[in-house]
């Protein structure tokens, strides 16, 4: 019951706050300006991620407190979320002035956020040997830290890459979060299930105003925050004691942004281009160039994401 309530409360907070946040963004001229790479042709209010943030933080805090004691890793997730959102706000502010924010500072902030999760208990401790009769390999602390940082920072960035069309990042984020809810529920991790449900609720509330034609967008602050929360929940749930099944599930749940980012990064490396260089090589841009509309493109990627998620749920329920 708490899982459903966590989702509902986050949804209500988000859907109520978005119109007020939108008005503030317009008043403060905190808007994303169009350019040759972006799909929208008119300035769009940023700060939409603030509604998702409020829904997630308030709902997850309430229901984590009810299920006392609150796990220490929750404070790591909360702290990392606030660090990332704050730096993302500065990044978005630069965009309102047509300036570029330092990629180095972004990576440092993402690494700090990941370390907060690790420091409070969210690391990959062991790898179970497939068909090994229950035997496992205990990972050295240094390797566990590196793997966890790489995973969290990687997911943060692939989700940021995904945020290019109205409703795409919020919709895929919702599907991924609900998939992690199922996995956490199946493994008895009710806290992680509530946190993922709160994120899903916040995303759906925001999606009410973000689906095409969008009235507001989440900005880099919102997309990096969603990626961070998803990666962190997967770390403390699926990856805590990693088996083949538990590794497959979150990778499939985040299949659309992960596999799209891998394809794009490989393509940029082969062309000798910087990995962080913004272009129109992502799947959603390619579909638009092929003649699909925004709604058709987003709907198709929702379907692909659902297929990945259903595959991961089947893996969970059959093992």
Residue 2, class by beta-carbon neighbours within 10 Å (0-12 exposed, 13-18 middle, 19+ buried)?
middle
Residue pair 105/87 in contact by the 8 Å Cβ criterion: yes
Helix (H, G, I), strand (E, B) or coil at 100: coil
What one-character-per-residue DSSP string does 116-153 give? HHHHTT----EEEPTTSTT-EEEPPHHHHHHHHHHHHH
Angle ∠(113,64,163) on CA atoms, nearest 5: 45
217 pLDDT higher than 70 = yes
Q: What percent of the chain has pLDDT over 70?
A: 86
Q: What pLDDT, on the 0 to 100 scale, is given for residue 269?
A: 76
Residue with tokens 């009410």: 208
Q: What pLDDT, on the 0 to 100 scale, is given for residue 130?
A: 44
* Phi and psi torsions of 242, nearest 5°: -75, 130
pLDDT band at 251 (very low <50, low <70, confident <90, very high): confident
- Averaged over 88-103, what is the pLDDT? 92
Pairing of strands 241-242, 136-138: unpaired
pTM: 0.90
Gap between the Cα atoms of 53 and 82, Å rounded = 9
Least confident of 161-170, 180-189, 216-225, 230-239: 230-239
CA torsion sign for 152, 109, 266, 36 is: positive
pLDDT band at 147 (very low <50, low <70, confident <90, very high): confident
The two three-digit tokens of residue 14, written as one number: 């988000």
Q: What percent of the chain has pLDDT over 90?
A: 50
DSSP conformation class of 45: E
Q: What pLDDT, on the 0 to 100 scale, is given for residue 230?
A: 92
Contacts of residue 240, defined as CB under 8 A and 6 or more positions apart, other chains included, come to 122, 124, 125
CA torsion sign for 259, 263, 264, 268 is: positive
pLDDT band at 184 (very low <50, low <70, confident <90, very high): confident
Q: What pLDDT, on the 0 to 100 scale, is given for residue 216?
A: 97
Residue-wise pLDDT tens digits, 39-64:
666 889 999 999 999 999 999 999 99
75 closest CA partner among 118, 120, 114, 115:
120
Angle ∠(71,110,103) on CA atoms, nearest 5: 170
- 241-242, strands of its sheet edge to edge: 136-138, 126-128, 241-242
- Highest-confidence range of 2-16, 118-132, 296-310, by mean pLDDT? 2-16
Gap between the Cα atoms of 6 and 95, Å rounded = 33
**pLDDT, greater one: 142 or 219:** 219
Instruction: Please tell me whether 210 is known to bind a ligand.
Output: no
Q: What pLDDT, on the 0 to 100 scale, is given for residue 261?
A: 77
Every domain of the chain and the residues it spans: 2-317
The two three-digit tokens of residue 29, written as one number: 């001229």
- Averaged over 159-172, what is the pLDDT? 89
- Averaged over 179-202, what is the pLDDT? 92
Q: What pLDDT, on the 0 to 100 scale, is given for residue 126?
A: 57
pLDDT band at 137 (very low <50, low <70, confident <90, very high): low
Q: What integer best gives the mean pLDDT of the chain?
A: 86
134 pLDDT higher than 60 = no
Q: What pLDDT, on the 0 to 100 scale, is given for residue 211?
A: 94
Residue-wise pLDDT tens digits, 255-293:
777 778 788 778 777 777 776 666 666 777 688 778 788
């Amino acid at each position: 019951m708490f899982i459903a309530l966590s989702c509902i409360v986050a949804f209500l907070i988000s859907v109520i706050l978005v119109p007020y946040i939108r008005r503030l963004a317009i008043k403060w001229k905190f808007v994303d300006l169009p350019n040759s790479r972006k799909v929208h042709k008119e300035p769009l209010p940023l700060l939409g991620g603030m509604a998702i943030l409020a829904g997630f933080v308030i709902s997850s805090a309430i229901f984590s407190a009810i299920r006392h004691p609150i796990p220490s890793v929750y404070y790591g997730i909360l702290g990392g979320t606030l660090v990332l959102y704050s730096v993302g706000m500065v990044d978005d502010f630069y965009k309102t002035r047509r300036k570029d924010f330092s990629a180095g500072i972004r990576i440092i902030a993402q690494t700090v956020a990941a370390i907060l999760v690790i420091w409070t208990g969210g690391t990959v401790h062991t790898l179970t040997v497939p068909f090994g009769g229950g035997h496992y390999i205990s990972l050295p602390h240094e390797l566990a830290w590196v793997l966890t940082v790489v995973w969290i920072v990687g997911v943060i960035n692939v989700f940021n890459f995904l945020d290019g069309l109205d409703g795409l990042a919020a919709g895929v984020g919702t599907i991924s979060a609900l998939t992690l809810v199922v996995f956490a529920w199946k493994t008895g991790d009710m806290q992680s299930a509530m946190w993922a449900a709160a994120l899903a609720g916040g995303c759906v509330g925001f999606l009410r105003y973000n689906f095409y034609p969008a009235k507001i967008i989440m900005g880099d602050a919102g997309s990096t925050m969603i990626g961070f929360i998803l990666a962190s929940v997967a770390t403390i749930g699926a990856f805590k004691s990693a088996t083949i099944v538990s590794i497959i599930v979150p990778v499939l749940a985040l299949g659309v942004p992960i596999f799209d980012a891998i394809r794009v990064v490989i393509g940029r490396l082969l062309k000798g281009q910087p990995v962080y260089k913004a272009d129109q090589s992502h799947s959603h841009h390619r579909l638009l160039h092929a003649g699909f509309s925004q709604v058709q493109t987003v709907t198709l990627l929702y379907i692909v994401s659902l297929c990945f998620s259903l595959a991961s749920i089947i893996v969970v329920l059959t093992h």
